[in-house]
Structure 1
Amino acid sequence: MKPYTYLLINFLTVIICFVFSFDKRIQFNKHFPAFIKASVLTAIPFIAWDVWFNAHGVWWFNTNYTTGLILFGLPIEEWLFFICIPFSCVFTYFCLDKFFNLDWANAFNTIIVFFSVIVCVLIGLLHYDKIYTFVTALVTTLTLIYLHFFARVQWIGKASLIFFILMLGFFPVNGVLTGTGLESPIVNYNPKQFLNIRLLTIPIEDAVYGYTQFLLNIYLFKFFQKSVNPES
């Protein structure tokens, strides 16, 4: 079981959402092409980031918990992570948006963006010597500025609320990856390269990293939906 731990995490993260995608009330399966395009495009810069950080010892993987298949220095399970996690997140967004009116949260778009950007800029400037902290703050800042001021999306508040709900899944998944319930973490971090502030065993940067990845997946998912159905 141990060499399949990370693979099992990916599987358990995605399987329930995948099965319910075919439910007649949801029919998320009709949006698989839009999701695949969005997740692959989003994954490209994040995987490049992952490869570089792994190669330079910012973080690394305990191969005792992986199958041993390596591509560009990353376990194959890490590559699957960039499909499985976004699938569950986008599926959850899709369902909550379909069955509940959460548009009221969009009234907080500007507040969320300005507050987040100010915090990220300050942390980035104060901790520019910690590469994981700095890059996370920079990418999050640029993402929010682009979405709010250039793409002018109107759903940041709703997406932020749903991401907060998704934290219920974030803690067990990332918790196991960072060592909760295991003899040693699957993902290890260089303590000199991040704030060393943890949510249980999870570096706080992971939550911000996940938030940015989530926003970009939603943005591209909606973009590819509209390219097929302009009224969506």
Structure 2
Amino acid sequence: MWQYTYLAINFFTIIVCFLFSFHPKIKFHKHFKAFIVASSLVAVFFIAWDVWFTKMGVWWFNDRYLIGARLFGLPVEELMFFICIPFSCIFTYFCLDKFFKLDWNSKFERIFSIASILILLCLSVYFREKIYPFVTFLTTAISIFVLYFILKIKWIGKASFVYLILMPGFLSVNGILTGSGLDSPIVNYNPEEIIGFRIFTIPIEDTVYGYEMILWNLYFFYKFKTKEMEPAN
């Protein structure tokens, strides 16, 4: 039964959010198309990143917890991860944004965005010899710059707050993937390519990696969601 572990993690990550998507006060199911298009688009980049790092030995997967099927050299469960995790996160953001006013003051959001970019750039330079933190911190800094200063989004602060709310769930899922409660990790990391600081069993870089992935999922979700609402010509 251990071979279904990663599959079960994906299932339990998404199932509650999926069922509540049909709640009459939420109606997230009406936006499934926008989500699928958005998450698929973002997944292309992150799967390419995943394939690259797997081939380089930055991380690898424990076959004991996998059903065995692979695509592009990745377990199918890993490919599902890029749909299941964003679904739960986007659904949670959608609900909180629908029922609560979470918008930040524009000046504070600007300060937060600039500070985040500068800190991430400094960290990427400092850890330039270790590929996981270097790539993660650098691309996240670039992502925040593009989203806030070029694409002019107004929800960086709100998304960051919601991501913080989601952190217990993130730590639970990634904790199991990185070995919490198991005899060995499902996802293993090359100690030479990570900082080495962990939250329980989770490399600190994973929190930034997840943050960047969710920001882009949010951007494209609301972009395609808006198009869904536009009247047909």
Query: What range is the shorter-chain TM-score in?
Result: over 0.9
Q: Do structure 1's residue 219 and structure 2's residue 219 form an aligned pair?
A: yes
In structure 1, the partner of 2:116 is: 116
In structure 1, the partner of 2:173 is: 173
User: What letter matches 2:138 in structure 1?
Assistant: L
Kindly indicate whether the alpha-carbon contact (under 8 Å) linking 1:196 and 1:203 is maintained by their aligned counterparts in 2. Answer: yes
Kindly indicate whether the alpha-carbon contact (under 8 Å) linking 1:107 and 1:157 is maintained by their aligned counterparts in 2. Answer: no
In structure 2, the partner of 1:198 is: 198
SS at match of 2:220: helix
User: How many aligned positions are there?
Assistant: 231
Identity value in percent: 55
Counterparts of 1:52-67 in structure 2, within 5 Å, are 52-67=52-67
Deviations 1:58-107 (A, max 9, x none): 00000100000111111000000000000000000000000111113655
SS at match of 1:104: coil
In structure 2, the partner of 1:21 is: 21
In structure 1, the partner of 2:35 is: 35
Q: Please report the TM-score for the alignment, with normalisation by the length of structure 1.
A: 0.97
SS at match of 1:182: coil
The whole-number CA distance in structure 2 between the counterparts of 1:15 and 1:154 is 30
Change (3 A) 1:66 1:72: same
- Specify every segment of 5 or more residues in structure 2 that has no aligned partner in the other structure, as ranges: none
Kindly indicate whether the alpha-carbon contact (under 8 Å) linking 1:66 and 1:77 is maintained by their aligned counterparts in 2. Answer: yes
Q: CA deviation at 1:9?
A: 0.1
User: What letter matches 1:28 in structure 2?
Assistant: F
SS at match of 2:104: helix
Q: Do structure 1's residue 148 and structure 2's residue 152 form an aligned pair?
A: no
Q: CA deviation at 1:229?
A: 1.9
Kindly indicate whether the alpha-carbon contact (under 8 Å) linking 1:105 and 1:158 is maintained by their aligned counterparts in 2. Answer: no
Q: CA deviation at 1:155?
A: 0.6
In structure 2, the partner of 1:44 is: 44
In structure 1, the partner of 2:129 is: 129
The whole-number CA distance in structure 2 between the counterparts of 1:44 and 1:103 is 30
The whole-number CA distance in structure 1 between the counterparts of 2:199 and 2:47 is 23
Alpha-carbon RMSD across the aligned residues, in angstroms, is 1.2
Q: Please report the TM-score for the alignment, with normalisation by the length of structure 2.
A: 0.97
SS at match of 1:112: helix
Deviations 1:13-47 (A, max 9, x none): 00000000000000000000000011000000100
Counterparts of 1:88-99 in structure 2, within 5 Å, are 88-99=88-99
User: What letter matches 2:92 in structure 1?
Assistant: T
Q: CA deviation at 1:230?
A: 4.9
Q: CA deviation at 1:110?
A: 1.1
User: What letter matches 1:224 in structure 2?
Assistant: F
User: What letter matches 2:204 in structure 1?
Assistant: I
Of the structure 1 ranges 178-187 and 221-230, higher mean CA displacement relative to structure 2 is found in: 221-230
Kindly indicate whether the alpha-carbon contact (under 8 Å) linking 1:106 and 1:158 is maintained by their aligned counterparts in 2. Answer: no
Q: CA deviation at 1:53?
A: 0.3
